[in-house]
């Protein structure tokens, strides 16, 4: 069965956890800019965590379902409606045939990820269903969604059918994940970073400015990266660097001295020095940055970054275990 896109909104696309194993061919990872949010939303509706969902930017989207589906979303502070009823982030809801979900403009943050039971069943390209918006392949015909598109949906799992029957009366499940998993957007966030490979190319005063002064997100930002306006980050000496691999989360400093925080659709190699790298557990906050947001950076050790990621994965496993009784 299908989901009909009545209104596509500003920038809505099909995304999963990304296109791994292809970077040596110049193919970006892509995928949901907050993979943790999509994983959580998929778990809430009984999907495999890697199932394709819908990434919505700045709202303005409306979908109608042709059959019974469980739906959950995570992301910024959006006003999401099931008809006239509010659907909070991090709660699974039963949508019957003909029901509509409407995602209005967010108060905080800019992106949301919607998981639909069965997943969005578009073709797999290079191991992923994600839309590569720069190369125009994957997802739904390699492009953002448009009004009137019909998204093919996969089949329900047996556990999903059980939860659908349980939600016939109450419609919206009362349980939810931790708040910062379903609603990670923050005002004036402080992003934790580890030192980049080129940290020592910058002097102590630059290090101090980078880790104490605020930066403002430029309007000239997209899924490839967030350009940041703030104190000029100057190198000790102006030398050419050999291009090397870059990854989402890296903070590059071009000759202008205004850093660029790379996101999921970033290129696979780059020649600008990398002063730092945002730690993985803060990617959900990064994914919510929009123009004119202010952000600061705070250094942590690599060991702390590893431990925070281990802790989150351990907590996610506990969350999976806690969901099982609802699907049986």
Question: In this predicted model, what pLDDT tens digit does every residue of 248-299 receive, in sequence order?
Answer: 999 999 999 999 999 999 999 988 999 999 999 999 999 999 999 999 999 9
Q: What is the mean pLDDT of the chain?
A: 95
pLDDT digits (tens, 9 = 90+) for 95-152: 999 999 999 999 999 999 999 999 999 999 999 999 999 999 999 999 999 999 999 9
Q: Which helix (H) or strand (E) holds 106?
A: none
Q: Does 199 lie in the same domain as 171?
A: no
pTM (2 d.p.): 0.95
**What gap in Å lies between CA 224 and CA 177, rounded to an integer?**
29
Same domain? For 73 and 170 the reply is yes
Extract the tokens encoding 94: 């039963």
Is residue 21 one of the residues assigned to a domain? Answer: yes
- 75 inside domain: yes
**CA dist., res. 250 & res. 277, Å (int):** 4
* Residues 102, 216 within the same domain: no
- Residue span of the structural domain in which 266 resides: 190-310
CATH number, domain with residue 298: 2.40.100.10
- Pair type for strands 100-103 and 61-65: antiparallel
* 289 Cα distance to chain centroid: 11
Give the DSSP H/E element, type plus range, for residue 8.
strand 2-8
Shared domain for 261 and 157, answered yes or no, is: no
Distance from C-alpha of 156 to C-alpha of 165, rounded to nearest angstrom: 12
Count Cβ atoms below 10 Å from residue 254 Cβ, excluding itself: 14
Q: How many domains does the chain have?
A: 2
């Amino acid at each position: 069965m299908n989901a009909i896109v009545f209104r596509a909104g500003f920038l809505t696309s099909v995304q999963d956890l990304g296109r791994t194993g292809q970077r040596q061919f110049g193919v970006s990872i892509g995928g949901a800019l907050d993979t943790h949010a999509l994983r959580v939303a998929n778990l809430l509706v009984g999907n495999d965590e890697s199932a394709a969902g819908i990434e919505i930017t700045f709202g303005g989207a409306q979908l109608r379902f042709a059959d019974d589906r469980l739906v959950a979303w995570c992301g910024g502070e959006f006003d999401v409606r099931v008809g006239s009823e509010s659907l909070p982030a991090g709660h699974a809801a039963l949508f019957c045939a003909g029901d509509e979900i409407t995602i209005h403009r967010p108060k905080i943050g800019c992106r949301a990820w919607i998981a639909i039971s069965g997943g969005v069943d578009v073709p797999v390209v290079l191991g992923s269903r994600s839309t590569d918006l720069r190369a125009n392949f994957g997802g739904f015909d390699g492009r953002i969604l448009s009004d009137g598109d019909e998204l093919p949906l996969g089949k329900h799992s047996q556990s999903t059918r059980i939860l659908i029957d349980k939600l016939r009366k109450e419609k919206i499940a009362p349980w939810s994940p931790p708040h910062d998993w379903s609603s990670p957007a923050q005002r004036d966030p402080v992003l934790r970073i580890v030192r980049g490979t080129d940290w020592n190319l910058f002097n102590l005063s630059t290090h101090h400015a980078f880790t104490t002064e605020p930066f403002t997100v430029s309007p000239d930002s997209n899924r490839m990266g967030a350009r940041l306006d703030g104190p000029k980050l100057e190198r000790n000496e102006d030398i050419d660097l050999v291009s090397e691999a870059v990854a989402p989360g890296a903070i590059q400093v071009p000759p202008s001295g205004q850093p660029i925080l790379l996101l999921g659709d970033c290129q696979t190699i780059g020649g600008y020095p990398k002063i730092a790298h945002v730690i993985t557990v803060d990617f959900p906050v990064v994914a919510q940055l929009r123009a004119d947001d202010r952000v600061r950076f705070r250094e942590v050790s690599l060991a702390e970054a590893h431990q925070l990621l281990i802790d989150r994965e351990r907590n996610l496993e506990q969350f999976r275990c806690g969901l099982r009784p609802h699907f049986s």
